[in-house]
Structure 1
Amino acid sequence: MLAAVLAAVITAVSAVMLFYTSHSPEYGVGVYMLLLVGIYVIFWGARTRREAHQQLSDMHIDMEQAHLELKRAHYELEEATSRLLQYAVLEERTRIARDIHDSIGHGLTSVIVQLQALPYMMQANKEEAEQAMATVLEVARNCLTEVRAVVHQMTDHNQIYGGMNALEKLIQQVREQSQLLITFEAVDCGSAWTPYITELLYRVLQEALTNVIRHAAATEVKITIVERDEEIRMTVQDNGKNDSQTPIIPGFGLSHMEMRCKAAGGTLRLVHIHPHGLALSVAIPTHDYVDHDPIVEEGSRDEG
């Protein structure tokens, strides 16, 4: 359109200038050139303004589109943040439930066992009964302390339990609070364990002993820990009532122990012992995490 108008104007100017140049050639040529230059500048400026306006319009459209995409991304980010917060809440609830079962459940089990035996102990030996009562009170106070710690969410995942000394202390505590004959053997356990491995072994042993007290009706327990080839193996065997005909179905406690062992790159196995009894075996690598699938063999009794 602009080119057609420009051509028409130039044609008209040429016709006018042809009339003048026929009378004064030199004057007419000069005026003719000036007019052509002026017309070209005017139309070039108009075209430039039109193109600039189009560019601004395109930029405005692009900015609006970018703004819409930014709003959409912001909304998606808010949604993702909300989901992450919900997941964090659920994860924290699971952790608290696990810690309550692992630590407080073990303590309360020992309290119940000793309270059940207390009437018979009072009839047989009053001094022994008084000592058992003092132990029960101490365990109950420890449970209350752990409850308060959980309520205030002060549990430290990297809590150091003292390595092998902590396991030996736990075993001795169970000896004193139950009628179990417990033997313990540690082989080549000279390296320093990380806090995570120490806590995991402590919790697994605690869960295993709690299950023996609750369900196995056992009189003897054998605990073995072997560290070899960048791996720690712990086995807890009992001579309880379970035989090969007894189904093995993991309960809440063992299921969580299995998950924690898997998270550490290890395995958890629960198998029958001939002629009766169960053996819980845990293998945990001492090096960096390697993804292994934990195995729970032959099902499991409803434990923990």
Structure 2
Amino acid sequence: MEGKGDILIVDDTLDNLRLLSAMLAAQGYEVRSVTNGAIALIGMQTQPPDLVLLDINMPGMNGYEVCQRLKSNAQLQEIPVIFISALNEAVDKVKAFSVGGVDFINKPFQLEEVLVRIEHQLKLCRLQLQLQAQNHQLQQTQADLQRSLDHERALNQRIEAMVALEERNRIARDIHDSLGHSLVALNIQMEAALTLWEVDANRARSTLVEAKQLGSEALQAVRHSVSAIRSDPLQGRLLEGAIVNLAEEFNHLTDVMPDCQIDLSQPLSTSINHVVYRIIQEGLTNICKHAEATIVQIQIQTTDMGLSLTLQDNGKGFQLDQTTMGYGLRGMQERSAALGGQLEIFSKPGAGCQITAHFPRENHPPNNGT
């Protein structure tokens, strides 16, 4: 029979030792027996038992003192002690519990009572050990989770930093390209005005007016690009509220109120929120400038997989293969790719334009070969 527990019996009466040892061994317990408290303490130091049956009245060191010394030892203090005694006074039982005993059995004892009390205490010990193991596992799991959260937070910060850097680089390139183009055109107009100054003042003046307009447009483009460098385009607002503000601004400029269907019940990272805001912002800007649309729809849906975005209008549309990607459309694609997203544009003359974007919940920066 498999051992049910290691029990140490401490009693100076040999008949009691033999009787208890035989009864418990027959029930499958491993049993050790000693006749005095000093030997018992030495044996427990060498091999701690699962439970101690301890007689109170023994010569030399009585059971109370043995229990006190046991409970003062950090390595042994969790061992349950059941006192066995012929004493039946209430004061004896109170003292037994006050020194650390967990139960009390009166002599003469009954086998069934002894077994029930022993098994009850051993079961409590097993449950306590299980609870300690579960608490340790819970603490370990919590520590692992905290490390994972710290790692994810640090990774998100690195991703957002990389996205911000890429955004600034993209804006710098766009400023260089668009401003350079505008300055070249402006220079040509100024040269033409100087050439015409002496021969045709009216044409020279008209040319200067066009040059001034080019300068104003270039300045506005630079201001727009620089304002896009802000680290938080939402300015602390929730994404849904920021999009509603964009829709209201669009309505103020065009008298067309976009139909917004927004479900952000499963929020994503801050970097994705920023990109979604930029795509809608630039898309509405393009519609306002070029589309002459009367219907505009914005749909955002979040799921366990990520986020889906659709921006659609019924405006003039354009031929994709004949359109040079400007600030808005190129910016949309670059921002989406930076977060592992996919952006598609569908349009043709007279059929409006539809922009769709999909972002995975777990996003990673693109591999630049470094």
TM-score by length of 2: 0.40
Instruction: Please identify which structure carries the higher helix content.
Output: 1
Choose between structure 1 and 2 for higher RCO, CA contacts under 8 A separated by at least 6 residues. 1
